[in-house]
């Protein structure tokens, strides 16, 4: 019996138990079974459940210092132009910006039709090669940024996370909301201790709203992780728990010097029209990724 068959069999077993008259006699056990059933159903549906919905994207700068943080800003502008062409709306949830207008990291929420299904394969390390604007000698420089795309969960109950697995801290918000918000500890950071996945949200006006949003995003991160593990297991692959944002891990390269080319290393799709790509014309890459 393969993994898919075992999963289907277990779903049927739990559903039979849920129909029994004494199912809620042991409330703790019942809740555990419901949680297991939800997770198994999500896996069984092959990740297609959230493809038609919204998404949350985080861009992290990696190796490359100021150049990498500037590259994160370049990627952000590129994606924003792509979103504009699709008529999707964008909301900043958290940003950590440097003095040059670059980003150490930034998290945005994208709302529209088929957002997650369109963008999910953009996840990975992106590489930029150019003459560094931050180097007085005008030397060629390579920098890296990582893009993470997760589905937006409308309800935190879709993937229940035990409270004792969460480490929650609060801080003063540096985001939108006005002076009153900035005087209170409304920003929320949550770490899922078993996986060390972390989320920081400061976009909402209250601490409770930011916590709810953070848990929702964390649910999306856990869903993405489990989906990647499922796919890797079915293909007999090993999945690393951490991806270094550096050479050798990139999914796409953007070369501006000594020649111009954007190349996706998974699909081999490439173009010399770098300016067009940075203007948000990503359709050729995204369609090829979806066909993998």
With cut-offs at 50, 70 and 90, classify the pLDDT of residue 37: confident
In a domain, 232, yes or no: no
SS3 at position 214: helix
Do 285 and 256 belong together in one domain?
A: yes
pTM score, whole prediction: 0.76
Residues in the chain: 292
The residue range of the domain holding 267 is 50-153+237-290
State the pLDDT at residue 159.
Answer: 62
Do 245 and 141 belong together in one domain?
A: yes
Last residue of a domain, one of 28, 44, 60: 44
- In sequence order, the 6+-apart residues with CB closer than 8 A to the CB of 285 are 252, 262, 264, 267, 269, 277
Do 18 and 134 belong together in one domain?
A: no
Number of domains observed in the structure of the chain: 2
In a domain, 3, yes or no: yes
Do 11 and 109 belong together in one domain?
A: no
Each residue's pLDDT tens digit, 147-191: 999 999 865 545 678 888 999 999 887 654 444 444 578 999 999
Average pLDDT over residues 203-212: 92
d(CA 61, CA 104): 5
In a domain, 216, yes or no: no
**When comparing pLDDT for 12 and 176, which is higher?**
12
d(CA 291, CA 32): 37
In a domain, 199, yes or no: no
Do 66 and 149 belong together in one domain?
A: yes
**When comparing pLDDT for 202 and 243, which is higher?**
202
In a domain, 196, yes or no: no
Each residue's pLDDT tens digit, 114-140: 999 999 999 999 999 999 999 888 899
How large is the angle between the packed helices 207-234 and 3-18, nearest 10 degrees?
130
Do 1 and 144 belong together in one domain?
A: no
Q: How far is CA 58 from CA 10, 109, 226, 235, in A?
A: 35, 9, 18, 27
């Amino acid at each position: 019996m393969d993994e898919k068959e075992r999963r289907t069999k277990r779903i049927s077993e739990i559903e039979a138990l849920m129909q029994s008259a004494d199912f809620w006699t042991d409330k703790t056990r019942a809740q555990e079974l419901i949680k297991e059933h939800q997770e198994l159903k999500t896996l069984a549906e092959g990740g297609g459940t959230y493809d038609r919905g919204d998404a949350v994207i985080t861009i992290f700068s990696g190796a490359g210092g100021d150049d990498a943080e500037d590259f994160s800003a370049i990627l952000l502008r590129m994606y924003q132009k792509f979103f504009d062409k699709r008529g999707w709306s964008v909301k900043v949830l958290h940003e950590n910006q440097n003095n040059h207008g670059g980003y150490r990291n930034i998290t945005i929420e994208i709302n529209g039709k088929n957002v997650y299904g369109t963008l999910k394969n953009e996840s990975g390390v992106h590489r930029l090669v150019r003459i560094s604007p931050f180097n007085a000698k005008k030397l060629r420089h390579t920098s890296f940024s990582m893009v993470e795309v997760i589905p937006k969960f409308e309800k935190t109950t879709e993937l229940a996370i035990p409270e004792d697995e969460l480490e929650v801290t609060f801080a003063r918000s540096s985001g939108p909301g006005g002076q009153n918000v900035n005087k209170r500890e409304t920003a929320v950071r949550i770490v899922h201790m078993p996986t060390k996945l972390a989320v920081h949200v400061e976009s909402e006006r209250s601490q409770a709203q930011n916590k709810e949003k953070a848990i929702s995003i964390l649910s999306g991160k856990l869903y993405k992780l489990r989906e990647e593990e499922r796919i890797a297991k079915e293909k007999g692959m090993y999945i690393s728990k951490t991806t270094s944002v550096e050479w050798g891990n990139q999914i796409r390269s953007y070369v501006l010097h000594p020649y111009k080319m954007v190349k996706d290393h998974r699909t081999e799709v490439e173009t010399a029209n770098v300016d067009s790509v940075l203007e948000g014309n990503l359709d050729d890459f995204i369609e090829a990724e979806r066909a993998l």
